[in-house]
Amino acid sequence: MDVEKVRADFPILDREINGYPLAYLDSGNTSQKPRQVIDAMREHYERHNGNVSRSVHTLGTEATEAYEAARAAVATFVGAASPAEIVFTKNSTEAINLVAHAFSANADDPRFRLGLGDEIVISEMEHHSNIVPWQLLCQRTGATLRWFGVTDEGRLDESRLDELVTERTRLVSVVHVSNILGTINRPERIVRRAREVGALVMLDASQSVPHLPVDVAALGVDLIAFTGHKMCGPTGIGALWGRYEVLDAMPPFLGGGSMIETVELTGSTFKAPPDRFEAGTPPIAQAVGLGAAVAYLNGIGMDAIAAHERELARYALDALATVPGLRIFGPTTPVDRGATISFDLAGVHPHDVGQILDNEGVEVRVGHHCARPVCVRFGVAAMTRASFYLYTTTDEVDRLVRGLGTVRKVFG
């Protein structure tokens, strides 16, 4: 993979920040967008704009075809059995909430029936979007929320798997790649145990689909959630993948246009998935943009992107180890970890670290990264996080390390 060639596709990377070339090390937060995606969305608005699934005219037909082509591209990208297994949502958060709302005391399908004595299992490593929807669900139904712990090395602690995932478990929902520790979780054991007890398995794939080849069939899970803006696509669109039979067992989420078969004032009937879950006018141009993003990533190759990021992670872990007083949270070797590295610099608050780095054009994220339980687990209020992507260079990692030298000087 030729990084300089890739970088030429991203107009924003030409920017200067505070007199320095931009070093964007916050792709775990949101990725930058290649010209191909921006152009596809502009062309859609300039040439093909119409509403989908309800127009007989030419523009409506073109828009519908573009929207469905994007669904098919996304389906192929994650190894779905058919495009009908992809539900477009606003983001990962909405995808997870959609699944949470499928559970209730009187669900038709027993797998989605949830009440007192039933359990949902998550982990201490989750983003708030894979914690709060389940807390709310447990409040609604009286079910109990349980979780896997995290080891000192930042790995999922599966040592109590059989006690945690039991006949009472209805769903296990864990993160595929941690947005804060960078840990790559292998769900095989969890899936095997869930199958034994008849529980469903969901993965929050927000940080894996953009960075690794993901094949839902190989993962063996039932549902995954991911989002467009972290994979070179626009904001405002994400996706829920589910095995069709599982999606088909789920009741509607939001009600409205496009998701119904017939509507009478006395009651309505609903379409099959994925339409059942896409009420109202969907994010059409955003879907077109996401389709273009998938084409872009395919053009470079997810294997090549993953290899590039592995190399960056190895390089950055070595480079950061040379900074005095720096402590890395999560795996310190580039094995089963992504190119997202969170750390603490002794005596300096992450907000100050981030501010001084920004002054030199190095953009990192600081705070609790929407994964506050991880900060609590490691005894800190906040962390500084550098997260890389296909356009990140080792030179940018060097600038991060030099910037940390400036931080130490200011607070020395």
Partner 1 sequence: MDLYQEIIVDHYKHPHGRGLREPFDAEAHHVNPTCGDEVTVRVQLADGLIEDVSYEGMGCSISQASASVLHDLVRGRTVAEALTRHDAFAELMAGRGRVTPDEALLGDGVAFSGVARYPARVKCALLPWMAFKDALTRAAAEPTTVGGTHHD
Catalytic residues: 370
* Residue 366 makes contact with partner 1 by CB under 8 A: yes
- Tokens read off for 281: 């006018």
Using only C-alpha atoms, the chain has a radius of gyration, in whole angstroms, of 22
* Angle (deg, nearest 10), helices 394-410 and 350-359: 120
Footprint (CB under 8 A) of partner 1, residues 47-106? none
* Residue 411 makes contact with partner 1 by CB under 8 A: yes
Contact predicate 52/391, CB 8 Å: no
* Residue 367 makes contact with partner 1 by CB under 8 A: yes
Q: How far is the CB of 352 from partner 1 (least distance, A)?
A: 5
Q: How far is the CB of 368 from partner 1 (least distance, A)?
A: 6
Q: Total number of residues binding partner 1 (CB under 8 A)?
A: 18
* Residue 368 makes contact with partner 1 by CB under 8 A: yes
Measured from the CB atom, the residue of 310 and 368 that comes closer to partner 1 is 368
Q: How far is the CB of 411 from partner 1 (least distance, A)?
A: 7
Measured from the CB atom, the residue of 327 and 372 that comes closer to partner 1 is 372
* Residue 356 makes contact with partner 1 by CB under 8 A: yes
Measured from the CB atom, the residue of 195 and 351 that comes closer to partner 1 is 351
* Residue 352 makes contact with partner 1 by CB under 8 A: yes
Measured from the CB atom, the residue of 289 and 350 that comes closer to partner 1 is 350
Measured from the CB atom, the residue of 342 and 393 that comes closer to partner 1 is 342
Residue 19: CB partners within 8 Å, gap ≥ 6?
361
* Residue 350 makes contact with partner 1 by CB under 8 A: yes
* Residue 305 makes contact with partner 1 by CB under 8 A: no
Q: How far is the CB of 371 from partner 1 (least distance, A)?
A: 12
CA-CA distance, 338 to 177, in Å (whole number)? 7
Using CB under 8 A, which of the segments 50-58, 156-164, 293-301, 368-376 binds partner 1? 368-376
Q: How far is the CB of 128 from partner 1 (least distance, A)?
A: 12
Measured from the CB atom, the residue of 23 and 171 that comes closer to partner 1 is 23
Binding mask of the shown chain, residues 5 to 44, with x at each position contacting partner 1 by CB under 8 A: -------------x--------------------------
Q: How far is the CB of 349 from partner 1 (least distance, A)?
A: 4
* Among the listed residues 159, 217, 351, 395, the single contact to partner 1 using CB under 8 A: 351
Residues that bind partner 1 in the complex, under the rule CB under 8 A: 18, 348-352, 355-356, 359, 366-368, 372, 375, 381-382, 410-411
